[in-house]
Amino acid sequence: MELATKRNKVTARTDLVALATGHYSGNPEKLLDRVAKVLLQGASAELQRMSPAEQDDLLSQRTRGALAASLRRILLSDCPDAPLTVKNSLPVSRLSPEEVLKHTGMSKSTLYRGDGTRFYSVIPTGMQNGRGYPTWQFVGDVPSTMPRVLDLLNRKSRKQVNTFFVSEQDSLNELSPAEVLAGLPFEDRAALAPAQSRMLSLPQEARMDKVMTLVRLEVADPD
């Protein structure tokens, strides 16, 4: 039990570092719920002496949810030292394959099998070969939404896919599909209009629907 708890804490800490640096590829809400449970397990010296019913009450979903919400505010909103890419914007950089492996923990085979289905790459400027992975697609809950988008966009070239994601669209209040998917503006965007802020604040599924509408129009265009 003690070894398992220590292992869970180490794993949670590693995942939190990935979340704080904008490279966590899983569901952040599930991560924070798991971290909250680990913290609650370590917070009470009396836990082992409690009855199963009392433990369930302490570790209840409602309690974990409240703690997870606090963690989310600290990590993603209220923490002045949180990286800009997590706090309030998307990075415009690209990761090399080696950097993706380092920051996400995925295997090389998973990386190359997933290219074009779970995430996408582009050929770096000035090169004929090689791959660069736009960093924004590994931020927050974007990894969980990308497969649905790429499943339709896979008829386009890698250059066309990237152009679609980063180009501002009239129907998205001059935001790009990447920004709407993530619910965050790119870090080089000077300011947000009220209508843009409202769109980025929509629930994830609502933002996803807007992007998917554009995707269907994109793939229907023969050019």
Same domain as 181, residue 118: yes
Same domain, 166 and 208: yes
Q: Phi and psi for 170 in degrees, rounded to 5?
A: -55, -45
Q: Which amino acid is at 98?
A: E
Are the C-beta atoms of residues 168 and 196 closer than 8 Å to each other? no
Q: What's residue 26's pLDDT? A: 67
* Residues 66 and 115 placed together within one structural domain of the fold: no
Of 71, 87, 103, the one marking the end of a domain is: 87
Q: In terms of domains, do 106 and 29 share one? A: no
Confidence (pLDDT) at 39: 64
Low-confidence ranges of the chain (pLDDT < 70): 1-29, 36-87, 126-128, 221-223
Containing domain of residue 47, as a range? 2-87
Residue at which a domain ends, from 67, 87, 107: 87
Query: Is residue 37 located within the same domain as residue 72?
Result: yes
* Same domain (yes/no): 140, 212: yes
- Whole-number Å distance between alpha carbons of 75 and 88: 11
User: Kindly report the CA angle at 207 between 179 and 202, in degrees rounded to 5?
Assistant: 95
Tell which of 49, 64, 87 closes a domain. 87
Q: Are residues 23 and 42 in the same domain?
A: yes
Kindly state whether residues 144 and 211 are assigned to the same domain: yes
pLDDT at 70: 54
pLDDT given for residue 49 in this prediction: 65
Q: What is the 3-state secondary structure (H, E, C) of the chain?
A: CHHHHHHHHHHHHHHHHHHHCCCCCCCHHHHHHHHHHHHHHHHCCCHHHCCHHHHHHHCCHHHHHHHHHHHHHHHHHHCCCCCHHHHCCECCCEECHHHHHHHHCCCHHHHHHHECCCECCECCCCCCCCCEEEHHHHCCCHHHHHHHHHHHHCCCCHHHHHHHHHCCEHHHCCECHHHHHHCCCECCCCCCCHHHHHHHCCCHHHHHHHHHHHHHHHHHCCC
**Residue 79 has what pLDDT?**
39
CB 143 within 8 A of CB 26: yes
Q: What is the pLDDT of residues 152-196, one digit of tens each?
A: 887 777 778 999 999 999 999 999 999 999 999 999 998 889 999
Indicate whether 50 and 12 sit together in one domain. yes
The span from the CA of 131 to the CA of 86, in Å, is 24
Q: What's the predicted TM-score (pTM) here? A: 0.60
Same domain, 159 and 74: no
Instruction: Say whether both 113 and 20 belong to one domain.
Output: no
Note the pLDDT of residue 80: 36
**Do both 106 and 214 map to the same domain?**
yes
Domains: count for the chain: 2
